[in-house]
């Protein structure tokens, strides 16, 4: 069978693109993935204790885009979930992002109003200009004491690079608040898919024009596979045989433990920011997926350079290398590169969906 489009990867970028091509343009689409499941890194499944686990780390949907939320709502119902994070440092738990409660606890203060918090932050922050990297971002916002306590070691564990070696966008994602708002995100839409991400992906990919084949590596495909156009969502450097060198990615290793108790920790995510702790965070999925079980399951996350590529490394040198690949990718006539790995962008899920819908619109108008 000949397909109009071959799509490599069944994650957000691949699945959304397949659905749009099939349902709007009536194209025949083959989606392949080298893994044995759809949904990419958003894949979730129930463990032996009936707790929904996100196999590749917590995926927490949040967006301010009504367009993205409306699009995904065609394939799932939702339940409200607002993410909360604590940082564990020197035996104590602190609210993250930094807010009034965090400051009062760290500095033993009794700041009461937004104005008092703002004035205190103005007094401790170290003005840096221009803002060139992630260290500049944090020190400019909250000063060196809080940077050292909450960000320096954690960032080094996560990225194996000092904050001053990373793009300002990495730590620039984390706000600082003058009130007691302890939600990690403040987006308009903060929900989780009612039946999980995998079920949502099954519905996205259920169109009669879409064929899905798993355990199929694009780089080992038979040469007689027939298709007119290619949508590639994997690592762009691998597509071009690493001709300019390998782009660095960060991966994760997970250690799961289950306990016969209601909860292990007070919130779903605790960041371990001290340098003497090997793992970066502990995620307790029962807080997120809310099962009725007498057990709870946690995952300790260890950041590493080997393994499945999760995060592009945002820095000046990696951006320079990526642009070499992007320059040749732009010359392709029958290939579109789409997604976090193909575009070497640290996208959130909603950003991947929005970007994919934008690329689809370009294809539809060609």
Which is nearest to 182 in space by CA: 116, 285, 98?
A: 98
* DSSP one-letter code for 42: G
What does residue 159 show for φ and ψ, rounded to 5 degrees? -115, -10
The pLDDT value recorded for residue 225 is 77
Asked if 14 and 38 touch (Cβ cutoff 8 Å), the reply is no
Q: Which of 181, 211, 178 is nearest to 28 (CA)?
A: 211
- CB of 40 closer than 8 Å to CB of 265: no
Six token digits for residue 127: 């003005």
> What residue ranges do the domains of the chain occupy?
2-38+205-246+312-365, 85-172
pLDDT tens string for the chain (366 positions)? Answer: 799 999 999 999 999 999 999 999 999 999 999 999 999 999 999 999 999 999 999 999 999 999 999 999 999 999 999 999 999 999 999 999 999 999 999 999 999 999 999 999 999 999 999 999 999 999 999 999 999 999 999 999 999 999 999 999 888 778 899 999 999 999 999 999 999 999 999 999 999 999 999 999 999 987 777 899 999 999 999 999 999 999 999 999 999 999 999 999 999 999 999 999 999 999 999 999 988 899 999 999 999 999 999 999 999 999 999 999 999 999 999 999 999 999 999 999 999 999 999 999 999 998
d(CA 295, CA 53): 13
How much of the chain is in helix, strand and coil states, percent to nearest 5?
Answer: 35, 25, 40
Residue 18 has a pLDDT of 98
Q: What is the structure's pLDDT at 305?
A: 94
CA dist., res. 158 & res. 32, Å (int): 30
| Beta carbons of 106 and 290 less than 8 angstroms apart | no
Closest C-alpha to 98, from 59, 141, 55, 133: 141
The pLDDT value given to residue 172? 78
Fold topology of 2-38+205-246+312-365: Rossmann fold (3.40.50)
CA distance 138 to 365: 42
The 10 Å Cβ neighbour count of residue 226 is 9
Q: What is the pLDDT of residue 255?
A: 98
- 123 Cβ contact partners less than 8 Å away, ≥ 6 residues apart: none
Query: In this predicted structure, what is the pLDDT of residue 15?
Result: 98
What is the token pair recorded at 1?
């069978």
């Amino acid at each position: 069978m000949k397909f109009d489009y071959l799509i490599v990867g069944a994650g957000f970028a691949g699945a959304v693109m397949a659905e749009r091509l099939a349902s709007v343009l009536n194209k025949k689409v083959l989606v392949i993935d080298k893994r044995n499941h759809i949904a990419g890194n958003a894949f979730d499944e129930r463990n032996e204790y009936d707790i929904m686990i996100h196999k590749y780390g917590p995926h927490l949907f949040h967006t301010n885009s009504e367009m993205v939320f409306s699009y995904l709502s065609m394939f799932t119902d939702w339940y409200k979930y607002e993410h909360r994070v604590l940082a564990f440092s020197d035996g104590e738990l602190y609210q993250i992002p930094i807010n009034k409660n965090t400051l009062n606890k760290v500095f033993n203060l009794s700041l009461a109003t937004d104005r008092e918090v703002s004035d205190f932050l103005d007094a401790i922050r170290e003005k840096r200009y221009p803002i060139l990297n992630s260290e500049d971002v944090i020190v400019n916002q909250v000063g060196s004491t809080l940077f050292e306590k909450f960000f320096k070691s954690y960032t080094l564990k996560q990225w194996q690079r000092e904050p001053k070696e990373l793009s300002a966008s990495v730590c620039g994602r984390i706000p600082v608040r003058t009130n007691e708002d302890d939600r990690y995100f403040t987006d308009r839409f903060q929900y989780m898919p009612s039946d999980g991400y995998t079920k949502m992906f099954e519905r996205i990919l259920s169109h009669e024009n879409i064929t899905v084949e798993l355990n199929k590596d694009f780089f080992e495909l038979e040469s007689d596979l027939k298709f007119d156009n290619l949508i590639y969502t994997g690592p762009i450097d691998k597509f071009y045989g690493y001709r300019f060198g390998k782009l660095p990615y960060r991966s994760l290793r997970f250690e799961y433990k289950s306990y016969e108790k209601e909860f292990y920790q007070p919130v779903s995510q605790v960041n371990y920011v001290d340098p003497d702790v090997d793992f970066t965070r502990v995620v307790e999925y029962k807080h997120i997926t809310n099962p009725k079980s007498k057990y709870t399951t946690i995952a300790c996350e260890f950041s590493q350079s080997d393994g499945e590529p999760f995060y592009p490394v945002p820095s000046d040198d990696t951006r320079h290398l990526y642009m070499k690949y992007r320059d040749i990718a732009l010359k392709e006539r029958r290939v579109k590169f789409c997604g976090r790995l193909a575009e070497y962008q640290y996208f959130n899920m909603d950003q991947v969906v929005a970007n994919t819908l934008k690329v689809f619109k370009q294809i539809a108008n060609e």
